[in-house]
Structure formats: structure tokens, C-alpha cells
Amino acid sequence: MIELKNLHVPAAEGPEGVTAAAAWALGIPRNEIKSLVILRRSIDARRKNAVIFVFSVAVEIDDEAKFLKKKRGRFTRYTPVKPYRFPYSFLSPETRPVVVGMGPAGLFAALCLAEAGAPPVIIERGQPVEQRVMDVERFWETGRLDTASNVQFGEGGAGTFSDGKLTSGISDLRTTYVLKRFMEFGAPESISYLAKPHIGTDRLRTMLISMRQHLTDLGCDIRFGARLTDIEIENGCVKALVIDGEDGTYTFPAEHIVLAPGNSARDTFEMLEIRGVKLSPKNFSVGVRIEHLQSAIDGANYGEAATLGTLPASDYKLAVHPEDGHSVYTFCVCPGGQVVAAASEEGHLVTNGMSYYARDGENCNGGLLVSVSPEDFGHGALDGIAFQRRLEEAAFKHGGGDFRAPAQLVGDFLAKTPSTGPGSVLPTYKPGVTFCNLWDVLPDFVCRALAEAIPEMDRKIRGFAHPDAVLTAVETRSSCPVRIERTEGQSVSVKGLYPAGEGAGYAGGIMSAAVDGIRAAEALCAHL
Ligand SMILES: Cc1cc2nc3c(=O)[nH]c(=O)nc-3n(C[C@H](O)[C@H](O)[C@H](O)COP(=O)(O)OP(=O)(O)OC[C@H]3O[C@@H](n4cnc5c(N)ncnc54)[C@H](O)[C@@H]3O)c2cc1C
């Protein structure tokens, strides 16, 4: 196949125009292209009156060797990148490994271990995704929270009720492997080539069921409603786990544990600290969700091309660095999505965002976050969690004490006056919002940083500071406030414990957590 990079297709033609563009670039009639594989697709919207799709493709034509010779080096053959392969196989350990947590990190660790011949016992405090969806939907309708089965806890982990964005800042061969495995379990093929791939919460949920079936077929022992509550340690090595299961508490002998509990497992971090596992505080971020009309964001990004109907719902990525040292940035933007209630503790309110694959909702929402460090919340390992809890408690109280979220219009927030109701942007958060003054809810330095950043961001995305845009508080769980210190994949203080994923402090997002889970499985297999 012949590789073509940087092919431009005008937005008006839509992505289907790629074959014509490839034929034009090669100087051959369209019908001479036998097949075409998209390697990458992005959108260049820097010139609003000339928005284009930018493609890299591999094209199959007759007699490629002759064609390439005739074109004298103007084109090159496509050489696929060597795929990642898990480097261990045929293991048969004396004691079964255990994976704690069925988020992306735990799932990929379990997958690699099972396929290498060491199917683990998998401990998940939450419920299978079918039950979990019902528990979460009931919470959103009624405000009745299940502290074991919610947006943070259950099969699939924290990203199950998400936009399923798979972008990550890491450069690692394992990312292509993760995409390939996701596609095998039902993710859309577009994730293999889109510059900003996403799965959507609907497709994620069905993928998880296929993944569970595969793990079960490989011999994994999956235990839902099973919470790790303690670790027995002898001579600095793990000896057993104490598990609070559906039939009571039991002790389970275990020497090799991938610990992937996500960033909301506060009780687990408390237990680890008591057991002498070395933890450190780390920087994280807090803030709000901001909601605009999707049409306004598309207009700001695409200009007139927004009305063509050929371009996907758009997002943004903005950052401002106010003088007081607290960076403000947008995070986890969900085009056509909704703001979700993401609490996992009674009396503590948390927001986040999700979208369906179609991204066809009325609004676009994004996290609008202020970075915080131990200077803001204290230097103890668990001080960040205490800080999160204070903000979540304040949000719960100001929302009315029933998981309605405190909210304010951007215009009122900038004027420091309470809001009394929505304008043109209708908030999507369920079970509902209570309009108020967020300056009474969030710490002053957070409000000041947000108030400075919003007008700055409006210079990049026109309408970002629209007075009717809605701010919903509080977003505290975008990353982990704790790190479980590790060396060569193992806890520095307890042998046999392999901390992984976002909760261990080594990942942020679905993709990097999945990659870190694979790394944990590699480290564990090296010791086996
Ligand atoms: C609403 C929402 C939307 C998001 N959207 C995106 C997105 O679009 N793209 C993106 O990249 N990231 C997104 N994220 C972040 C992403 O979900 C996380 O980065 C990722 O899930 C972290 O993976 P993990 O495996 O490390 O932990 P988690 O996914 O948090 O999984 C940890 C699992 O461990 C279980 N567990 C915890 N403690 C115990 C215990 N003691 N015993 C047994 N089980 C335990 C939990 O129930 C959970 O299932 C979103 C998060 C949320 C909440």
C-alpha cells in the first residue's frame, strides 16, 4: 500500500471526500484505488472560512512497484508500526494473582495476566455494569445514592459514565494495543484513526460486557460487591487480603496484587496508610463544570462551516496561568453531552461530564479547573482528600442537601451576584441544580482564579464567557490527590503490591490508566 500524508478535504465535502483527494494526490482516476485505509483524521479549523479535514491514508492500487518507480520517490510504501505484544506467556503461578478494581487499569492488567496464563481473581467493590447503570440512573432521578455502586465504583471504573475520550498525553506503543483491544470488544473502528478518539458511554457499557465474558472464559474469578478492606503483611511482603464480600468478610491468601482502586477509593487509601504503605500527597485540581450551547461552541470553532452538517460536535482545550500561580484549564470536555452527578459518599457532592457516542445533546460541557498543591491543602498524605471533602460538603449543603448541585450563570459569577434561574443554556445536571452564588461555595482563591480565567478564555473561544453559560459545582475528582510510591512497579514499602492506574497516582484518564495496568501486569509477571 502507498502512504499519503496531509491530504486536505474541504469541510463542505465531508470526510467521504478522502478517496477523491487521494486519487488526485496520486494523479490517478478514482476507480484505480482498490482500497483505502484511514490512518489518521483530524480537523484544521484555524481558518474559519476554510475548515478542512486532514487525512493520512494507506491506498492500495494495481502494480504498486511499477507506480512507485514511475513517480521516482514522490510516494512511499506504507509500513505499519510493529504492534505491541505482551512479553510473557505460559505462566502458571503457584498462587493466583489478584487484581483489585475493574477500571481500565485493573481490566487491562487482568486481561494481560489472563492471556499470559495467570488468570487472576478480580475484586470489584461495585456491581456489574447492567446493575450499575440502574443504580446510577436511580441516583440521577431521585438523589438516592448507593455508595458501593455509582459513577465512581463498579465494573468499568470511573470512566464508564463518560465521554469515553481516549486522548492522552503519553507516547507509548501500548496505546495502539489498547485501542485494538477496545475495538475487539466493540468500540467503534474510528478510534483507530481519529486524532481525538472517543467511544461514548453507550458503547463503553456494551464493550464491558464482552470484556467480562472474555476474562471469564480465560478463567478469571470475578467477584463483584467485594471490597478490599485490609492487607495482611509479613516481613514486608503481602500475605493475604481481607475482603468485605456479599456473603460477609473473609481472608484471601495472596502474594501478588495489582492494586488499581481509582481516585475515589478514600477508605482504601486510609487503610494503606495505617498498614504503612508509603503514600505521598500530589497536586490535583478542583473547580466547576461549565456548560454552553453546543451550537455556540461549534460556531466559535468552525465559523460558518458549523452549519454544513459535515463536521462533528466540537470541543476546546484552554489554559490560563493567573499571577497567583494557580493554573486554570479546561478538562474532559464532553461535546453534546451532559453534566453528571458523580458522588460516591453521602453528603458529598461531585460533578463530572459524559456524552453518548452520537454527541448529539444540546449542550457542551467541560471541566473548568484550578490546579492545587500541598501549599493549598497541607503536606500530609491524605490532606488532599480532606480538602476535596470540604469542598464536596459545601457543594452538597448549598445545593439543598439532596444532591441537587449549586450552580450560577457566568454573568452573575463574574458580577458576584447570586443567580436565580437559567438563561438560554439549560443545565443538564440531574437530579437538578440550585441557583446561588458560587463565591459562597468555593474557596476564594478558586473563585478568583476562575473569574480571571473565564474572560481570558473567551478571547480564544468566542462566547466562552457568555453570561448565560452555566457553572455547576463542584468538580474535585479529575485526578488523584495521593500517590502510592512505587519502584519497578512495586510499592516501595510492601513487596507483592503493584499499585496501578489513576488511584496509584500514575495515570490520568482511560488510556493512560489502561497502559499503566499493562505495565503493572508486566512488572508482576517479571516477578512471577
Ligand atoms: C464521569 C467521568 C467521566 C470521565 N470521562 C473521561 C473521558 O472521557 N476520558 C478519559 O480518559 N477519562 C475520563 N474520566 C477519567 C477516567 O475515568 C479515569 O482516569 C480512569 O477510569 C482511571 O482508571 P483506573 O482504572 O485507574 O481507576 P477507576 O476507573 O477509578 O477504577 C477503579 C475501580 O476500583 C474499584 N475499587 C476501588 N476501591 C476498591 C476496593 N477497596 N476494593 C475493590 N474495588 C475497589 C472501583 O469500584 C473502580 O471500579 C472520567 C471520569 C469520570 C468520573
* Domain locations along the chain: 2-77, 98-280+480-527, 283-475
Per-residue model confidence (pLDDT) at position 170: 84
**What's the CA-to-centroid distance between 518 and ligand 1, angstroms?**
16
pLDDT at 81: 87
**Helix%, strand%, coil% for the chain, nearest 5:** 35, 25, 40
Note the pLDDT of residue 515.
Answer: 98
Q: 184 C-alpha vs ligand 1 centroid, how far in Å? A: 21
Residue 461 exposed, middle or buried by CB count within 10 Å (0-12, 13-18, 19+): buried
Instruction: Give CA torsion, residues 452, 454, 458, 461, to 10 deg.
Output: 140
- For 126-187, where are the E strands, in sequence order? none
- Please return the burial class of 85, using the count of CB atoms within 10 Å of its CB with bins 0-12, 13-18 and 19+: exposed
Q: Is residue 8's pLDDT more than 90?
A: yes
Query: Which amino acid is it at 373?
Result: S
219 versus 91: which is more confidently predicted?
A: 219
The CATH class for the domain spanning 2-77 reads: alpha beta
Q: How remote is the CA of residue 114 from the centroid of ligand 1, in Å?
A: 21
CA dihedral angle for residue 207, residue 210, residue 215, residue 218, rounded to 10 degrees: -150
For the segment 193-250, what is each residue's pLDDT rounded down to a tens digit? 999 999 999 999 999 999 999 999 999 999 999 999 999 999 999 999 999 999 999 9
Decide whether any atom of ligand 1 lies within 6 Å of the 502 Cβ: yes
Mean pLDDT of all residues in 310-329: 94
Atom of ligand 1 nearest to the CA of 156: 49
Q: What are the Cα distances from residue 1, in Å, to 189, 325, 365, 391?
A: 20, 51, 41, 56
Burial class (CB in 10 A: 0-12, 13-18, 19+), 511: buried
Q: What is the pLDDT of residues 130-157, one digit of tens each?
A: 999 999 999 999 999 999 999 999 999 9
- Cα of 7 to ligand 1 centre, how many Å? 37
- Separation CA 232–CA 239 (nearest Å): 6
* CA–CA gap between residue 482 and residue 284 (Å, rounded): 9
For the residues of 187-238, what is the DSSP string, one character each? --GGGGTBSS-B--HHHHHHHHHHHHHHHHHTT-EEEET-EEEEEEEETTEE
For residue 421, the model assigns a pLDDT of 98
* Residue nearest (by alpha carbon) to ligand 1 atom 27: 262
The model's pLDDT over 160-204, given as tens digits with 9 standing for 90+, comes to 999 999 988 888 999 999 999 999 999 999 999 999 999 999 999
CA separation for the pair 145, 410 (Å, rounded): 29
pTM: 0.96
Could you tell me the distance, in angstroms and rounded to a whole number, from the CA of residue 498 to the centre of ligand 1?
A: 17
Which phi and psi angles does 222 have, rounded to 5°? -95, 125
CB 22 within 8 A of CB 59: yes
What SS3 state is found at 343? coil
**2-77 against 98-280+480-527: fold identical:** no
234 backbone dihedrals φ, ψ, rounded to 5° = -130, 130
100 CB within 6 A, ligand 1: yes
Q: How confident is the model at residue 95 (pLDDT cuts 50, 70, 90)?
A: confident
What pLDDT band is residue 73 in, cutting at 50, 70 and 90?
confident
Q: Which atom of ligand 1 is nearest to the CA of 502?
A: 26
Domain 98-280+480-527 coded CATH 2.60.120.10: no
Q: State CA 447 to chain mean position distance.
A: 25
